[in-house]
Amino acid sequence: MQTIKAAVCREFGAPLVIEEIQIDDPGMGQVEVTLDAVAICHSDISYAEGAWGGHLPAVYGHEAAGTITATGPGVSDFEVGDPVVVTLIRACGSCPSCASGKPTICENPADGVKGPIRTADGGPLLQAMACGAFAEKVVVDRSQIVKIPETMDRAVACLLSCGVITGVGAAVNAAGLRAGQDAVVIGAGGVGLNAIQGARIAGARRIVAVDMTEEKLEIAREFGATHGVLATDPKPWRAAYKALGGRGADVVMVTVGAVPAYNDAVRYLGWGGKAIMIGMPHSDGVAGYSPMAMSYQGQGLIGSKMGDVVIQRDIPWMIDLYQQGRLKLDELISGRWRLDQINEAIADTKTGSAKRNVILFER
Number of domains in the chain: 2
Per the structure, the complete domain to which residue 42 belongs is given by 2-161+328-360
CATH code of the domain containing 149: 3.90.180.10
Give the other-Cβ count within 10 Å of 328's Cβ: 18
Q: Which amino acid is at 63?
A: E
3-state DSSP percent of the chain in helix, strand and coil, to 5: 35, 30, 40
Q: Which residues contact 49 (CB under 8 A, 6 or more apart)?
A: 12, 13
Do 142 and 78 form a contact (C-beta atoms < 8 A)?
yes
Q: Are residues 148 and 210 in the same domain?
A: no
Task: Establish if 313 belongs to a structural domain.
Answer: no
Q: Are residues 230 and 125 in the same domain?
A: no
Task: Establish if 321 belongs to a structural domain.
Answer: no
Q: Are residues 110 and 229 in the same domain?
A: no
pLDDT digits (tens, 9 = 90+) for 275-322: 999 999 988 889 998 899 999 999 999 999 999 999 999 999 999 999
Q: Are residues 255 and 174 in the same domain?
A: yes
Do 225 and 208 form a contact (C-beta atoms < 8 A)?
yes
Task: Establish if 132 belongs to a structural domain.
Answer: yes
DSSP character for 26?
A: P
How does strand 117-119 pair with strand 17-23?
Answer: antiparallel
Task: Establish if 311 belongs to a structural domain.
Answer: no
| Long-range contact set of residues 119-123: C-beta below 8 Å, sequence gap at least 24 | 119/8, 119/19, 119/21, 119/22, 119/57, 120/3, 120/19, 120/20, 120/21, 120/22, 122/22, 123/57
Q: Are residues 135 and 174 in the same domain?
A: no
- Reference 4, options 18, 14, 55; nearest CA is 18
- Per-residue pLDDT 10s for the chain (363 aa) are 899 999 999 999 999 999 999 999 999 999 999 999 999 999 999 999 999 999 999 999 999 999 999 999 999 999 999 999 999 999 999 999 999 999 999 999 888 889 999 999 999 999 999 999 999 999 999 999 999 999 999 999 999 999 999 999 999 999 999 999 999 999 999 999 999 999 999 999 999 999 999 999 999 999 999 999 999 999 999 999 999 999 999 999 999 999 999 999 999 999 999 999 999 998 888 999 889 999 999 999 999 999 999 999 999 999 999 999 999 999 999 999 999 999 999 999 998 877 899 999 986
pTM for the whole structure: 0.95
Q: Give 263-305 as a DSSP string.
A: HHHGGGEEEEEEEEE-S---TT------HHHHHHTT-EEEE-S
Task: Establish if 235 belongs to a structural domain.
Answer: yes
Q: Are residues 118 and 40 in the same domain?
A: yes
Q: Are residues 12 and 151 in the same domain?
A: yes
